[in-house]
Chains A and B, each alone.
Chain A
């Protein structure tokens, strides 16, 4: 391995974690390409805990002080802040190793927060830090290493022959370990070469798999965190913590934690095989279901199902995923959804011929680098999944972005000359893979343009290639600059909001209410939809404060859940919600009710909204929604479900008889835009925001976040 040159070193006394908090965070600054490195530890106050809880809350709070309203994502002062939360790092309950990374995003020009598993979060906390902020820019590529036992932070200069994730991760697990057993005491956060050009740069968080004897990668994929990492000339962040016992959080009541955890393990063992099949197929079990309900994105979200679905259904993937391994991404996760394909021989590109372990694909990747680009070939998906992780490109943005490119190509908005010889139609396996390879070094002008994301692509394609901007605006599936994730929200008014009335962009971690709305019909009025779009984003945000994974919440349910509870109550899986309240109390010693849980989230939800306002976004005009997300745009989309859409027109009080399909499309979209505005009004009101989407002073006061700097931002908008 190339020499690592020690540039700076600081010693610290690792704080003892008590009741889930170390009460300290680490701030490393790499200077302004001048080699001036600083390293400071800061206390975490009672107020910070009370108002921000942890995880994403801490990340936002710390970032607020690092940047100004005029800061750009590639300014030195932009920071990446990684934080888990008070529950992060327990081992007894499934899904408790999650961390959030907060930073200013190149795609959205406001804050982004990205979720990842792996061992970094728990090890970071056990090393004595509730959060780790890294800002500034180095002159030459560096690795920042935290040794949580020694109490040392070191910056090394390192110029590896290969800057891509699998290579970097494996090399660093090797370098910092004394032997095979020691490798699992390390976690690496890395990105890849593509992140040096594309704004879709992902961050990979590692954990070492002792059975497979390889480092596995979980992605903090979205928002361009990897792009920021590489902009700072950071090759990797590494943390090492030995002898993890599962008691590092010094919980107030270990006995309760153990009881609740053991209960969930048993529940998963008994029910997973007849419920979500997470242990067998991971989230890829959703492919078939989504297809059956017209929710699977096919050809840039034009269609919701395909007759080729059986090539990529759970049976197809079960054959490819190695069965029977302990596939949790943190200790104690019996949901074990981190499936992998072992011994896969790479067919293309720089790693051609290598036999590798490919992490995933998860549902998002199976659909984005699959049905959404018109490809129903698991092996193609696995190959592109590997390279996307390795080069470090967010597979969701990549897939949705490529789907946009394919449709532009098929519509003749761009051509083979613009693409430098690639015929980028839907289903073009070879050419799409070639485009991804070209995105690695960014030298190809077209590939570099694609990597900037859909919002920028619309600008570039219209300016450079004369592509029709208005058509691209209709079909480009992005919101606030972020590409849409892999569910078709068209037929669920509530999910329009679930995607396009979010804080950070159309990522489904705020709300997934499609079944509740579209199938169960549990949200008939706008007030009902608004209530769901108030409750679920706040409920789900809580996981990002505590350090918890959402899957064990509702991808498994107790056998008696639907006997004891009805309707929406059953959908909330009350027993599991109670588990989380009990776990929070068992760790922190503080009581927590369902109402207080939502309050903790509401504080951070509104603080993030104000932060985005501070960065020049965060008002109604930025909550854009493209036509494709609201309904059919072209006749083929209407005609494939003509009766269904005619029915929708009738419901809207418009008679379809005698109308040409183009006119029907226009009329339905017109109607749905009006419905959208009504939804926006209802949701803003329920959230305690004014009609422009700005939190009112009353809301801020009620939540106790009416700090002077927050009030200063919202006052002009009241």
Chain B
């Protein structure tokens, strides 16, 4: 299974990842549209990004959330009804939403932010499935 792994102690909260992500996926440089969220909380980085745990899969009423061949949880926009239950139930609060997009959005471990990060704080990790 592929997932994005942040290293908190390397993060300098520059926002380059959010910029690169939102520009690539939402055609807009806007942290609200980024699939990785980095916030400054009392001087420390609070990073929220999907770790492909799959906790959202069972709560979706239309089964719009499924793992692809890399184990990455993808949203089928055709099936999604934008109900946002996945947002409320994500164990790491890493499912995001915005009125300008048709459905919620999440990290799919594409690696664009990895290249953009000047500190090497991000990497895409391959993890063998358990069992």
Contact = CB atoms under 8 A, between A and B. Distances in A.
Touch between chains A and B, by CB atoms below 8 Å: yes
Contacts of B63: 210-211
Interface stretch (B34-42, B79-87, B117-125): B79-87
B16 interface: no
Interface string A251-280: 000110010011111111100000000000
A246 B81 contact: yes
Given A210-B62, A254-B99, A246 B89 contact: no
A211 B58 CA distance: 10
Nearest to B79: A181
Q: Size class of A's contact patch?
A: 20 to 34
B127 interface: no
Contacts of A266: 87-89
A334 B81 contact: no
Interface in B80-119: 80-85, 87-89, 97-99, 102
A167 interface: no
Given A258-B84, A261-B83, A331-B83, A184 B62 contact: yes
Interface stretch (A320-328, A448-456, A552-560): A320-328
Given A92-B83, A246-B80, A262-B88, 7 more contacts: A92-B82, A210-B62, A254-B99, A265-B84, A326-B61, A332-B84, A334-B88
Where chain B touches its partner, the secondary structure class is loop
B58 A332 contact: no
Contact of B88 (A211, A244, A269, A331): A269
B62 A265 contact: no
A265 B89 contact: yes
A268 B88 contact: yes
A211 B82 CA distance: 18
Contacts of B102: 245, 247
A246 B88 contact: no
A91 interface: yes
Interface string B44-68: 0000000000000011111100000
Contacts of B58: 324-326
Given A245-B102, A254-B99, A261 B84 contact: yes
A91 B88 contact: no
Interface of A: 91-92, 181, 184, 210-211, 243-247, 254-255, 258, 261-269, 324-326, 328, 331-334
Interface of B: 58-63, 78-85, 87-89, 97-99, 102
A239 to B, nearest CB: 16
Contacts of B98: 255, 258
A245 B88 contact: no
A247 B84 contact: no
A264 B84 CA distance: 10
Q: Which of B82, B83, B88, B89 has the largest number of chain A CB atoms within 10 A? A: B83
18 contacts: A91-B82, A210-B62, A243-B78, A245-B81, A255-B98, A262-B97, A263-B88, A264-B88, A265-B88, A265-B89, A266-B88, A266-B89, A326-B60, A331-B83, A332-B61, A332-B84, A332-B85, A334-B59
A133 B73 CA distance: 44
Complex A-B, nearest 3 residue pairs according to Cβ-Cβ distance, in ascending order: A265-B88, A332-B83, A246-B82
A325 B63 CA distance: 11
B85 A265 contact: yes
Given A243-B78, A245-B102, A262 B61 contact: no
Nearest to A270: B88
B87 A262 contact: yes
Nearest to A264: B88
Contacts of B99: 254-255, 258
Given A184-B62, A258-B97, A328-B61, A91 B81 contact: yes
A550 to B, nearest CB: 19
Contacts of A181: 79
Contacts of B62: 184, 210, 331
Nearest to B82: A246
